[in-house]
Amino acid sequence: MEKLMQDLKVQIIQQLNLQEVKPEDIGNDQPLFKEGLGLDSIDALELIVLLQQFHNIRIAKPEDGPNVFYSIRTMAEYITAEKAKQA
């Protein structure tokens, strides 16, 4: 899980072109949207593409989005659970 969370931070910085943000600046439980990293609705679309592109996972239910993309940890937990289903 730690490795996956670290990878996610690097992927998010790259995909969203977060200039001047380093992986260590993003907390595992820090909210990604609004008061946390300050991401917005366009970033949400980028994160959906990131999940497909890097982890081959499609979000089946759009209403799950706010919970899945709450933090790095919730994203990693979702990816782990979906990978287990695929196995």
Partner 1 sequence: MKAFIQGAGCVSAQDSNVFPGEVRNYEGDRLPVADPDYKQWIDIKQIRRMGRAIKMGVAASHMSLENAGIKNPDAIIMGTAYGCLADTGVFLQKLVSQQEDMLTPTAFIQSTHNTVAGQIALLLGCHAYNNTFVHGAFSLENALQDSLLLLAEDPSRNILAGATDEITDFSHTVLRRFGLYKNAHTSGLLRSQSQGTMAGEGAAFFVLSAGKGEHSIAQLTAVEMLYRPASEEETTEHIRIFLQRNGLQPADVSLLLTGRNGDTANDRYYETVEQSLFNDTPVAAFKHFCGEYPTAAAFGVWLAAGSLQRGSIPEEAMVKGLPPVQPERILIWNHHHAKHHSLILLEKC
Q: Which residues bind partner 1 (CB under 8 A)?
A: 15-20, 38, 42, 45-46, 49, 52-53
Task: Identify which of residues 1 and 25 has a Cβ nearer to partner 1 in the complex.
Answer: 25
Task: Please report how close the Cβ of residue 2 comes to partner 1 at its closest, in angstroms.
Answer: 27
Task: Identify which of residues 3 and 86 has a Cβ nearer to partner 1 in the complex.
Answer: 86
Q: What are the tokens at 5?
A: 């969370």
CB atoms within 10 A of CB 20: 6
Task: Please report how close the Cβ of residue 3 comes to partner 1 at its closest, in angstroms.
Answer: 23
User: Could you write out the DSSP letters of every residue in 54-81?
Assistant: HH----S-GGGHHHHTSSHHHHHHHHHH
Task: Please report how close the Cβ of residue 86 comes to partner 1 at its closest, in angstroms.
Answer: 18
Residue pointed to by tokens 């593409």: 49
